[in-house]
Amino acid sequence: MEIIIQPTPEEAAGIAARIIARLLRDKPGAVLGLATGSTPLRLYQMLAGMKLDWSRVTTFNLDEYIGLPREHPQSYHSFMRENLFRHVNIAPENIHIPDGNAADIPAFCAVYEERIRAAGGIDLQVLGIGGDGHIGFNEPSSSLASRTRIKTLTPQTRRDNARFFGSEQAVPHHVITMGIGTIMEARQNLLLAFGEKKAAAIAGTVEGPVTADNPASVLQFHPSVKVCLDEPAACRLRRADYYRWVFDNKPAWQTW
């Protein structure tokens, strides 16, 4: 893992934006895995401001609420349209977001996996992380080999997301999420985390044992992971000084 610790969320998101911009310039037909939530907002604003060519880019989102109308302001369809897609020249047919209103959700999940494979697999997956270590909506105890499927949110995740819905009661209980096995097949993972509320999950992800109790810890088995953090999210890392030294002393051929 490459641990990138920056003073502010803006600087950490700026590095993530440069990594993605470079991918889109090197590979105009790249396949991106995308995340929602508050964490990637700055990243998407920055990418939208970079005037990149998205015309051949394909995207797959990690997750969506089940039963929420697509036009609901808190659906991840709405989130992606408002925060990224309407600002870039992506082709609508290249956008893939799980359909939380599919009549047959298990069949839809199998088709979603097949679409990822047919697109050639995900080149770079953007990830946020829950305070409990979830990635996508793979809550603690998720199988580390799981595929796209239905999950039930924990009470804590519903409380965390109540801020978007106005009340906890309004937060759906069920979601579709790419599985951990699906995420692990992305060629590169780019995990962002900001704020002290993420510090324990990040410490477990980077330095703890690999355990389904902190699903993001499975990324220790992935050969290409970058973790972009602000200082508060990094405050519980035992080896933070080492990660800073590595970043500050990268040979030119290793930078992006």
> Which is closer to ligand PGA, CB of 37 or CB of 172?
37
Annotated active-site residue 139? The verdict is yes
Q: Hey, which residues between 195 and 224 contact ligand PGA (CB under 6 A)?
A: none
Between CA 79 and CA 89 the distance in angstroms is 17
> Which is closer to ligand PGA, CB of 134 or CB of 226?
134
Alpha helices in the chain (DSSP H): 9-26, 41-49, 76-83, 105-118, 155-165, 180-184, 199-207, 240-248
Please give the single-letter amino acid code of residue 162: A
Q: Does 37 bind ligand PGA (CB under 6 A)?
A: yes
Say which residues have a Cβ less than 8 Å from residue 133's Cβ, sequence separation at least 6: 140, 201, 204, 205, 213, 214, 215, 216, 217
Q: Does 100 bind ligand PGA (CB under 6 A)?
A: no
Annotated active-site residue 207? The verdict is no
Segment near ligand PGA (CB under 6 A); pick from 71-79, 124-132, 174-182, 216-224: 124-132
| The one catalytic residue among 64, 113, 134, 230 | 134
Annotated active-site residue 82? The verdict is no
Total residues in contact with ligand PGA, by rule CB under 6 A: 7
Q: Does 130 bind ligand PGA (CB under 6 A)?
A: yes
Between CA 193 and CA 198 the distance in angstroms is 6
Between CA 12 and CA 60 the distance in angstroms is 23
Q: Does 58 bind ligand PGA (CB under 6 A)?
A: no
The residue ranges that bind ligand PGA (CB under 6 A) are: 37-39, 128-130, 134
